Structure 1
Amino acid sequence: MDAPPSVRARGITKYFGEVVALDSVDLDVAPGQIHGLVGPNGAGKTTLLGLLLGLAVPDRGELEILGTPVGRALAVPEGVAGFVDGPGLYPSMTARQNLAALAQLRGDGTMNIDDAIDQVGLTDVADDRVRGFSLGMRQRLGLAAALLTKPRLLILDEPSNGLDPAGKKHVYGVLTRLAADGTAVMLSSHRMDDVEALCSEVTILSTGRVAFSGPISKLASEDSELDYRVITSNPAAARRIARETKGIRLRDEDAVQEGVELLVISASVPALDEFVKRLVRDDIAVRELAPVVSPLEAAFIALTEQQETN
């Protein structure tokens, strides 16, 4: 029998006084899915995550978490963990002591503290006081605290905040393994590279409403134009071919990146494919081809601007 959705929300609306923080939000998150939540500041992301953690209840609509209807605060079922606005930690205690306090609070002596610390890459500082931790180290410790509960639904608010490359690698690895084991992960982030690297689906919020929800692949239409940076072995010839290729528009003919001449072009996917084919036919090496703005970020900007004007 198929498992129920980890999150099922229909028509979720939340008011703060006269302010509508969430307006008829629908959301589905399947087990084993890493689902991204993005939107401008004030879009309602933190409010939605708070509802999923049971910190508040919607004023209208239906919310089911791990197959259980949720109708009052602090009533989410076992198996939900995470944090919003940063993890709550005791600064005067060590990382290990923080996790031990959590285990004691939950009355669960089976929690493997050392394993959780190791998973997030904090073994070397496990006995250091948290007051000396960087923002990124606190984020990783917050994730370790969530892992102690062996969650089936993990809610994270800006989990890569302050992370260096090594810390980000640890966090990416943890979340990917959790999803592979069937845990649903809902994460909010302002970093589109995090969302694109980790998430199979994304919900874009704007002014409390859903501007888009679904697979990231559906955001980028082949017919829509994006700006691309192009570095080749022969910039002059590449510029000529760009002018001659239908559907290619030169955006900046004299761009230089770290001393290397490059083209900035605007093109749809079919036009870009034709441009690259012509470069290859003329024996011109393509050394770099990358969007100036990622497809997700471009769609995010377009959708939120459209929503705000409606």
Structure 2
Amino acid sequence: MDARLSVRARGIGKCFGDVVALDGIDLDVAPGRVHGLVGPNGAGKTTLLGLLLGLAAADSGRLEILGTPVGRTLAAPDGVAGFVDGPGLYPSLTARQNLAALAALRGGDARTQRIDDVLDQVGLTDVADDRTRGFSLGMRQRLGLAAALLAEPRLLVLDEPSNGLDPAGKRHVHGVLGRLAADGAAVVLSSHRMDDLEALCDDITILAAGRGVFSGPLDKLASENRELDYRLRTSDAPAARRLAAATAGVRLVDDAGPRPGAAAGIVVRAQTPALDELVARLVRSGVAVRELTPVVSPLEAAFLALTAPQEDGG
């Protein structure tokens, strides 16, 4: 096992009766990285997060967390914190009292200064003395993150941390996770929100039916051998259309021409090298490129392609 990794899993299997939740999963998570888990409902994301938090034990395979081999006991090594299926809170207690109770249960630091610090990090200072029974989903998610931060984790494991967050809450959570990774902690999170994963994650693992169908750096999903649709807006749509049609490897997806009053734009389908060539031709021809964005993000396109049901060719 590689002691430099925060998580190293090889061939992890987990069944619940006749249901195979995880089937030979490999996972590497390095310190200072944010690693996202994505997959359809029932793909095994929550089960895998539970293994990392010591809430369940694998039936097969090898798992090492923070340099410690994990066996069949339900326990996680020191330095691991997080939640799955939402944080558990005492609804009759305030946010501050919830954190103080948790710190006391852990035998850790329950001093007000530390609690106030994590509440500030997640943007809950103004409601610190409100009872949590009145908290929204997003506020409960942020308080769960604050509880995890009390442990000063070297591995933070979160299940759908952006659930219910408004833009301000999302900004707080993204900032916290980014700072943790910058300070050397490893973060593993699941989400159905592709925009969150693309904004936060360095690495992605895509699960489908309990198996890993991709794992690696996020930018690898936009590799040069994958065609994507791009929305292209320029200063001269007719010229852009002609140049796109004449560029090898570029196909016009939307060639109906600009509608009256609409912005001058087209949709093209291309791999990265062909798209680069088209942009170079536009610039040489004096056509200004005002927007070039994927119609569907590289992560979402890869997710749809890799998790689509396979048709039986027989």
With normalisation by structure 1, the TM-score equals: 0.94
Equivalent residue for 2:45? 45
Against the structure 1 CA distance between its residues 275 and 122, is the aligned structure 2 distance closer, same or farther, given a 3 Å change threshold?
A: same
Q: Does 1:271 pair with 2:274? A: yes
| Partner deviation per Cα, 1:1-32 (whole Å, 9 max, x = no partner) | x9532111111100111010000111111122
Equivalent residue for 1:120? 122
Equivalent residue for 2:178? 176
Against the structure 1 CA distance between its residues 203 and 234, is the aligned structure 2 distance closer, same or farther, given a 3 Å change threshold?
A: same
RMSD: 2.0
Using the TM superposition, give the Cα deviation of residue 52 of structure 1 relative to its aligned residue in structure 2, in angstroms.
Answer: 0.6
Q: Does 1:246 pair with 2:248? A: yes
Aligned mates of 1:307, 1:140 — CA distance in 2: 38
Q: Does 1:262 pair with 2:238? A: no
Aligned residue runs from structure 1 range 107-256, under 5 A: 107-110=107-110, 112-254=114-256
Equivalent residue for 1:71? 71
Aligned residue runs from structure 1 range 18-97, under 5 A: 18-97=18-97
Aligned mates of 2:44, 2:125 — CA distance in 1: 35
Against the structure 1 CA distance between its residues 18 and 116, is the aligned structure 2 distance closer, same or farther, given a 3 Å change threshold?
A: same
Residues 33 and 202 in structure 2, CA contact (< 8 A), matched pair in contact too = yes
Q: Which runs of 5+ in 2 are unaligned?
A: none
Against the structure 1 CA distance between its residues 256 and 94, is the aligned structure 2 distance closer, same or farther, given a 3 Å change threshold?
A: farther
Residues 207 and 308 in structure 1, CA contact (< 8 A), matched pair in contact too = no
Aligned mates of 2:165, 2:261 — CA distance in 1: 26
SS of the residue corresponding to residue 290 of structure 1 reads strand
Aligned mates of 1:140, 1:91 — CA distance in 2: 15
SS of the residue corresponding to residue 205 of structure 1 reads strand
Aligned mates of 1:270, 1:41 — CA distance in 2: 35
Equivalent residue for 1:102? 102
Aligned mates of 1:259, 1:88 — CA distance in 2: 50
Q: Which moved more, 1:246-255 or 1:23-32?
A: 246-255
Using the TM superposition, give the Cα deviation of residue 141 of structure 1 relative to its aligned residue in structure 2, in angstroms.
Answer: 0.8
Equivalent residue for 2:15? 15
Residues 223 and 270 in structure 1, CA contact (< 8 A), matched pair in contact too = no
Aligned mates of 1:258, 1:270 — CA distance in 2: 32
Q: Which moved more, 1:244-253 or 1:300-309?
A: 300-309
Aligned mates of 1:73, 1:181 — CA distance in 2: 30
Aligned mates of 1:153, 1:196 — CA distance in 2: 20
Aligned mates of 1:7, 1:260 — CA distance in 2: 48
Equivalent residue for 2:306? 303
Residues 158 and 187 in structure 1, CA contact (< 8 A), matched pair in contact too = yes
Aligned mates of 1:57, 1:247 — CA distance in 2: 49
Q: Which runs of 4+ in 1 moved over 6 A?
A: 255-258, 306-310
